[in-house]
Chains A and B, each alone.
Chain A
Amino acid sequence: MRSRPDLPAGPEGPLTLAFPGDARSVRRALRHVIAAAPLCTLSDADRGTTELVLAEVLNNIVEHAYVGCTGRITLSLDLCASGLAVRITDDGLAMPGGAVPSGLLPTNPAAPAATLPEGGFGWFLIKSLTRDLAYHRKEGRNHLSFTLPIG
């Protein structure tokens, strides 16, 4: 997997897991990942941000990619010099337009409170908190990767 053999893996190496793409399994996987290496070694702030981004991405897969169907999700986390490298795959529907949503902030603070949106914050948060976000679809599978800055 590693393209740079001169960059050694952390003591634990990458954490990889696969689980069903439903809400309950996602919640259980998150709980496990947050408590296990490498995330358990991070500060509370970094762990909180990581949990938020993973929850947004995984819940999107359950709600949009696996709408009306089921399948598996794979998650891989690797703590390296540039941050936490995350790779996520699923076998659900492709992203509309073959790209991740624009993730613009849906809120206009000047707009009346009654018109405030109650959704649409997910991709904004993901894009705000990650670097090198990349998506592609290959052989019926969605591949999403990004880096979470650490420290």
Chain B
Amino acid sequence: MKLKPSTIQGVLTVTVQENRIDAASALQFKERMRDVTQGTAHRVILDLGQVHFLDSSGLGAVVAVMKLLAPDRKLELSNLTPTVEKVFRLTRMDTIFTIHPQAGMAGQNALKA
């Protein structure tokens, strides 16, 4: 599970460099996210632009990471591909997470907020 963290002006963006977060990789995703977000900024933006497939296990792992970061830090999402966006919309998780259309935009919005 390749994750690329980068911090710009206090906002940590983690780019998932894999095309799937599924039953086989969900646990690893959760553990790697725990590692890269340790002692970080208040806002963490997860860039899912390269993820074309996310199943219910992957969704559960993203929720688990959000709970892991709470209450001091907030997990936001960006760059959802159509199938991944559909999973968040159907399960109404799009009402729980702040979802940004693009990572660059997410960074700007995060700075403004």
Seen from chain A, the residues whose Cβ lies within 8 Å of a Cβ on chain B are 23-24, 27, 44-45, 48-49, 51-52, 55-56, 59, 63, 105, 107, 109, 113-114, 116-122, 124-125, 128-129
Contacts and interface: CB of A to CB of B under 8 A. Distances in A.
Question: At the interface, is chain B mostly helix, strand, loop or mixed?
Answer: helix
23 contacts: A24-B24, A27-B22, A44-B82, A45-B82, A48-B83, A49-B86, A51-B53, A52-B53, A55-B22, A59-B22, A105-B91, A107-B91, A107-B92, A113-B67, A114-B70, A116-B67, A117-B60, A118-B60, A120-B56, A121-B56, A121-B91, A125-B56, A128-B90
B41 interface: no
Considering residues B22, B70, B87, B96, which has the most beta carbons from chain A within 10 angstroms of its beta carbon? B22
Contact of B56 (A23, A24, A51, A122): A122
A59 B70 contact: no
Contacts of B23: 23, 55, 59, 63
Contacts of A119: 56-57, 60
